[in-house]
Structure 1
Amino acid sequence: MTASLNELPRMIPPSPWVVRHCGLIAPGGAVLDLACGNGRHARLMAGLGFAVTAVDRDGEAILSLHEVPGLVARQVDLENAEWPLTGQTFAGIVVTNYLWRPRLPDLLGMLAPRGVLIYETFMRGNEAYGKPSSPAFLLSPGELREVTQAAGLREIAFEEGYTDSPKPAMRQAICAVRE
């Protein structure tokens, strides 16, 4: 399928962090792309043969994913009082550019034994580069490391600090596995 010129600006490639670590997820395993947006990572994972559940509150973005083989897309409010993914477990969980601290324990609890968490989002200092700029949506230094260790996950890789790609930002990223 060839993209029209009008579609090209919307096509953002997968995060290099996600691409680098997605091979650690058990082949054919169930993967959750949380707050998937337009589904760049959900499409990647489905293309690699994973059974993908992609969730986001943006109904229009979710509609664009319904035709992707191996992918179930759901419009859900992740910040609602009731956690919409209760009882589900995943071999891999991917989260990028999203942070809702009240649900981090629920999210980490869905990771199956030997499951892989790949998480990358913004951290303090990002307010100098644009949105998000609210402390509610910016990680503190080392925060992902602390949260995953407290949940009993083993760190595979961790990075934090300035990046200039895809745009200047302060970010934090972790890949961790449940032993």
Structure 2
Amino acid sequence: MAETENTQQLKWNRRYAASNQPNSAAQVLTENRHLLPSQGTALELAAGLGGNALLLARHGLQTQAWDLSDVAMSKLQHFADAEQLPLQARCIDLEQQPLPVAGFDLICVSAFLDRALCSSISAALKPGGLLFYQTFTLAKVHQGGPSNPDFLLQPGELLRLFAPLQPLVYREECDCGDLEQGLRNQAYLVARRPR
């Protein structure tokens, strides 16, 4: 396990080493920004360079960003500190660090899928807390994203993975209509934990 963890950490550290800019926030956040709470605690899981976490912190939420890559977390903390944002970037292996039960008002995940964590993610939301989740689907219209089916959603799977939550917004466009527009190769969900 430790060898696999170190291999994964090295892989992601190499990927982020050359990056000097945060990534863009996910479409699920930018298109549904009006649903964000005006205050509270937020967590971005598998944050990478933290585009989602930065958006949440700029919105005024006390934000944590967790990722396996210490390189990414160091860079993200630097970005946040430069803007004096309420953001704490932490190098955490999600397989080793359990999520706190009812610990966050909002959790955001994008471009990451570990089905074994989905029930823990739901439980980590406070009653009334919001989940913003966007990741890749098996039904691909264009090249891009992972090729391993373990990291790709089946049709409608995001709704099933988070069935205990109340869906507020769901989008999965597959191969319908004009393939040059819309959300392709991905699905997203905004859902709320019942109060």
Shared fold (TM-score, shorter chain, > 0.5): yes
Q: Which structure's residues are more often helix, by fraction?
A: 2
Paired amino acid for 1:111: L
Aligned length: 168
RMSD, aligned α-carbons: 2.5
Which of 66, 70, 85 matches 1:59?
A: 70
For 1:102 and 1:127, the matched residues in 2 are separated by 27
Map 1:3-152 onto structure 2 (within 5 A).
10-67=21-78, 68=80, 69-78=85-94, 80=95, 82-87=96-101, 89-126=103-140, 129-149=143-163, 151=164
Closer, same or farther: CA 164–57 of 1 in aligned 2, 3 Å:
farther
Runs of 5+ unmatched residues, structure 2? 1-17
Query: What's the CA shift for 1:29?
Result: 0.8
Closer, same or farther: CA 61–88 of 1 in aligned 2, 3 Å:
farther
Query: What's the CA shift for 1:22?
Result: 3.6
For 1:34 and 1:178, the matched residues in 2 are separated by 17
For 1:33 and 1:75, the matched residues in 2 are separated by 12
Residue 44 of structure 1 aligns to a residue whose secondary structure is helix
Aligned residue in 1 for 2:10: none
Query: What's the CA shift for 1:27?
Result: 1.6
1:39-95 deviation line (CA, Å, top 9, x unaligned): 1111111111000010011111100122422001110112x2x33333461111100
Alignment TM-score, normalising by the size of structure 2: 0.77
Query: How many percent identity over aligned positions?
Result: 29
Ranges of 4+ aligned residues in structure 1 off by more than 4 Å: 162-166
Closer, same or farther: CA 31–99 of 1 in aligned 2, 3 Å:
same
Alignment TM-score, normalising by the size of structure 1: 0.83
